[in-house]
Structure 1
């Protein structure tokens, strides 16, 4: 499977938190080629398992990247037939004005997000940012017809197509964190070329955007020796300080902080340098807000790493990432996994 085509399919598909089943089958069918078994946790996270060789000590490494995306949900109808909505996950209302949407009702219905024209706004409001309650969706029907097609609680996604940019960069909706799932696929492809002792669990987790829930339940199911979360970080743009962002096309960011096991992190850096894989350092002093945080504090605790992919315009409809960073991240993780054995694990986990 071509990693670019895989990511394109995921980005163009719908998997709002709580409704990830729309892409589960596609992920399963893709990972079957690179794994030995497929499993699920009870919430619906997909677990593709690649067995290691001579793994008599049952060594397990869990990779986690969330397959859910932020979105919207129908909450009410106006007398004119327009739809009021709320968010699922963290959405900035300023990014929604004039967007095209798909309302996933009894059938998919195209609509547009509107608000009061600037000509009719009070002068005191003209400089204020819109809030969610100021916005509505217009599908063109009257209220009676709208309610025949759409129910309160139906999900809504932005109508945005995945597009290739220059320099091997791509843009689309929900690359946070479908790019992480694509990185796991790249890692699985690379591992087919390598010997590794550990059983590797590629987990496409659910409901990360509303509380890293799938990472918790899947960690309890797997009980891994090491957890590696793959998510996105703030790609450098002109308005961002260097200390608050990571550079595009300069490789994965290896996170440093309390959520991350220090010796495993150092081993990951050594592997990157040994194989000339570009990398960056990302500093996060507290909980990372990713699946790594939930894996780390599940059960009796799991030593964790976090790989961050540089992504611009996070939680907008034009998230942008570079495919070279995905490839380098997947290859780095695969090389790291190949060097972890039952004989050296205890040494790496000692403080």
Structure 2
């Protein structure tokens, strides 16, 4: 399976927090050549590649996406909803899928109200499916999931756009890493983890850490692009490589080591400073099982938590290659010294 095809299948699929099992067939198909695959009771997906020692390294990317939930069905068949992680302004005129007793297509419309024309608020949005109340009420329950519906498009300069680039791009980077290690037996056992429920509090990260008990944990996630139309307080740029995080959530010696690997193999990289909570799986990995030396590697994207997130394919590839070279050179015998401050 080619990596662009894999990324496309991941992003166009639907797997909100708590329903990551919907993504399992795609993950299983994409990673079946690279290790033993299993899924936990709460939807963490594990791919285990055997190493030469008892030591373990865990590479993690969350598989859930931001979503909506049904809260009310009007007598005219319109659906009201709550959101998780999505700004109401980005929802107007979007296509969605309501995951009821069967999948139902819908569009999000803005309630006409001249007094509110410059104030797009959640309470003024509703989903129109074209069906009347009796049909919708028979197929949809309060609490059913709703996800954005978008097909991937290719842009210029190796950029692509879709929904759920956060964080399916990182799963694609893990697959690049697994591909690079296919004919290599590393010293450490490698666990690739597609974690559950990151968007609602990094829950899968802690679960996986206790399941695996790794010597090193590396979270891969996305971060805000700092270019034109991005977060200008940051210096992350699409196509300039993976972003290595610096801060208390990251083990300094392990971070120095992966930076040295990037320089050794001429892999482009960027640096991002996070003085507090990184808001990623790395936060929960670090404090699990008595403390795990942790790294955070991020892929810059544009328009986060919208249906048109944008990522650069070379950033995905370079993230995977960097992780593979780091794993390939890491030896169990050096871990104790590496963890000393």
TM-score > 0.5, shorter chain as reference: yes
CA apart distance, 1:242: 4.7
Is residue 2:285 matched to residue 1:290? no
The separation in 1 between residues aligned to 2:126 and 2:200, in whole angstroms, is 23
Alignment match, 1:95:
90
| Equivalent residues of 1:72, 1:86 under 8 A apart | yes
Alignment match, 2:104:
109
Alignment match, 1:39:
38
The separation in 2 between residues aligned to 1:206 and 1:345, in whole angstroms, is 28
| Equivalent residues of 2:210, 2:289 under 8 A apart | yes
Alignment match, 2:306:
316
**CA-to-aligned-CA distance 1:170-223 (integer Å, 9 cap, x gap):** 110001000011110000001124341000000000110001111110100000
Q: Secondary structure at the match of 1:228?
A: strand
Superposed, 1:223-302 pairs within 5 Å as 223-240=213-230, 242-302=232-292
The separation in 2 between residues aligned to 1:279 and 1:159, in whole angstroms, is 32
Q: Secondary structure at the match of 1:211?
A: coil
The separation in 1 between residues aligned to 2:208 and 2:231, in whole angstroms, is 36
Given the superposition, is the C-alpha separation of residues 241 and 175 from structure 1 closer, same or farther in structure 2, using an over 3 Å criterion?
Answer: closer
Is residue 2:319 matched to residue 1:326? no
Q: Secondary structure at the match of 1:331?
A: helix
Alignment match, 2:80:
84
Alignment match, 1:20:
20
Question: What is the count of residue pairs matched by the alignment?
Answer: 341
CA apart distance, 1:27: 0.4
Q: Secondary structure at the match of 1:320?
A: strand
| Equivalent residues of 1:176, 1:315 under 8 A apart | yes
The separation in 2 between residues aligned to 1:219 and 1:80, in whole angstroms, is 48
* 1:183 equivalent among 151, 173, 183: 173
| Equivalent residues of 1:196, 1:338 under 8 A apart | yes
Structure 2: segments with no counterpart, 5+ residues: none
Structure 1: segments with no counterpart, 5+ residues: none
The separation in 1 between residues aligned to 2:101 and 2:244, in whole angstroms, is 44
Q: Secondary structure at the match of 1:231?
A: strand
| Equivalent residues of 2:230, 2:303 under 8 A apart | no
Is residue 2:43 matched to residue 1:48? no
| Equivalent residues of 1:180, 1:231 under 8 A apart | yes
Question: TM-score if structure 1 supplies the norm length?
Answer: 0.94
CA apart distance, 1:287: 1.4
Question: TM-score if structure 2 supplies the norm length?
Answer: 0.97
Is residue 2:60 matched to residue 1:64? yes
| Equivalent residues of 1:233, 1:308 under 8 A apart | yes
CA apart distance, 1:75: 1.0
